[in-house]
């Protein structure tokens, strides 16, 4: 079903897991999907071709960073973000709200929007719902996000309610500003912190406004994983079945698997790329810290079950050497492996949903997590 130009088809379900297909102006996104984060028009340590080779069908760009540098108008003049960064597939841009609250200096939140001083040069800038949508349009995003107020945690219910209600008013202003265009859509963002009543109210309010997709924000900012899952279980039943669901900023493999089990379709996080730049590799069963001396003479690949280029070509010993020597190739290779691991996880989740074996996949995945990183390269691959 289409609304503002993107199409979503729910193709299969198992338990609460969903497999679907989103069609945008720049191609198909198979869900569940993980979006590598390309904050400033680049996925760090990766070329666009390398990102696509991992299986990624969509990347995330950041409105806050791109509007400050090089500027949305400049990107538009140079052909839009797809052309500017030479990425041929879909792009989702976040609204900039989270970065305003986490990075900007001397910020003031008012009904009109947010006024802040740039962390780059101290320039005073105002970001309103209307300007956020304008910037994302100038960038040429396939999927744009409404501007929301990112609720801090912990917060009182009174404070969370006021914040959520402001976000809902901003969401309506974003919807009124967003111009319908084939292949491009707008997602609303559910807020309400850890309070079930507020989450429900927010979800229902957004459904009344009508969006192409629905995101859940304000989670994974300090609350325990079990509480995050509880909020998802409360929220997702109030989201439309025929629209994609996006859990913002969630990125640990166990978070992703747990969220898919609770009906989430889309994810983004800096964890796989940031970890790659700091010597950590995700492998079946856990993760490896390549700084550890025990890898210095280890001839095994990162993961004996992985068929990525890094695992087929390089040993743990070599990668340990690169990390210890401070070579930039270390971050490039580990990032490439990590993004491949994440995309392979999504492929396996989609297959498990299609083949009605998600429950078995869950048991296998979490059983392997208990093995821990010391055995990550030694056990044999199990059937999921």
Q: Active-site residue numbers?
A: 94, 268
Nearest residue to 269 via CA among 289, 286, 252, 245: 252
Residue 245's closest CA among 38, 26, 33, 24? Answer: 33
Q: Which two tokens stand for residue 175?
A: 């919807």
Give CA separation, 229 vs 114, 234, 370, in Å: 30, 9, 20
Query: Which secondary-structure segment (H or E) carries 107?
Result: strand 105-110
Q: What count of other Cβ atoms lies within 10 Å of the Cβ of residue 57? A: 20
For residue 311, what are the contacts with CB-CB under 8 A and spacing of at least 6? 301, 302, 303, 304, 337
Pair 218, 193: CB distance under 8 Å: yes
* Nearest of 295, 214, 238, 274 to residue 22 by alpha carbon: 214
H/E element holding 381?
Answer: none
Q: Are 203 and 232 in contact (CB under 8 A)?
A: no
Please tell me whether the peptide bond between 70 and the residue prior to it is cis, using omega within 30 degrees of 0: yes
In the sheet that holds 105-110, the strands lie side by side as 105-110, 113-117, 124-127
Angle among Cα 230, 232, 235 to the nearest 5 degrees reads 115
CB proximity list for 271: less than 8 A, separation 6 or greater: 251, 252
Its sign, for the CA torsion 258, 261, 262, 263, is: positive
Is residue 208 helix, strand or coil?
helix
d(CA 292, CA 45): 22
Torsion angle (degrees, nearest 10) of CA 166, 169, 174, 177: -140
**Integer Cα distance of 85 and 12 in angstroms:** 34
């Amino acid at each position: 079903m289409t609304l503002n130009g993107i199409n979503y088809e729910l193709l299969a379900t198992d338990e609460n897991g969903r497999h679907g297909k989103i069609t945008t102006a720049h191609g198909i996104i198979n869900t569940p999907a993980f979006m590598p984060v390309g904050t400033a028009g680049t996925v760090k340590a990766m070329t666009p071709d390398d990102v696509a080779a991992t299986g990624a069908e969509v990347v995330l760009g950041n409105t806050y960073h791109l509007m400050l540098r090089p500027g949305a108008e400049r990107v538009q003049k140079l052909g839009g973000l797809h052309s500017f960064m030479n990425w041929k597939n879909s792009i989702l841009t976040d609204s900039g709200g989270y970065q305003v609250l986490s990075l900007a200096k001397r910020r003031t939140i008012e009904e009109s929007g947010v006024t802040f001083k740039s962390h780059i040069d101290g320039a005073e800038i105002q970001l309103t719902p209307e300007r956020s949508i304008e910037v994302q349009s100038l960038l040429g995003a396939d999927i744009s996000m409404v501007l929301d107020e990112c609720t801090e945690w912990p917060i009182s219910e009174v404070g969370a309610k006021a914040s959520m209600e402001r976000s809902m008013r901003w969401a309506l202003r974003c919807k009124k500003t967003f111009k319908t265009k084939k292949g491009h859509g707008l997602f609303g963002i559910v807020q309400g912190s850890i309070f079930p009543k507020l989450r429900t109210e927010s979800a229902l309010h957004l459904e009344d406004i009508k969006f192409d997709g629905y995101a859940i924000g304000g989670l994974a900012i300090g609350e325990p994983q079990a509480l995050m899952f509880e909020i998802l279980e409360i929220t997702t039943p109030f989201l439309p079945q025929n629209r994609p669901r996006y859990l913002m900023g969630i990125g640990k493999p166990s978070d992703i698997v747990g969220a898919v089990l609770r009906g989430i379709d889309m994810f983004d996080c800096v964890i796989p790329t940031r970890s790659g730049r700091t010597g950590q590799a995700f492998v079946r069963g856990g993760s490896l810290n390549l700084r550890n001396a025990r890898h210095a003479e280890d001839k095994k690949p990162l993961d004996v079950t992985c068929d990525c280029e890094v695992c087929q070509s390089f040993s743990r010993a070599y990668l340990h050497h690169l990390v210890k020597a401070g070579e930039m190739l270390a971050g490039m290779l580990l990032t490439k492996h990590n993004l491949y691991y994440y995309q392979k996880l999504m492929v396996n989740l989609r297959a498990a949903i299609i083949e009605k074996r998600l429950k078995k996949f869950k048991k296998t995945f979490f059983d392997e997590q208990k093995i821990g990183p010391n055995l990550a390269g030694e056990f044999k691959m199990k059937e999921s």
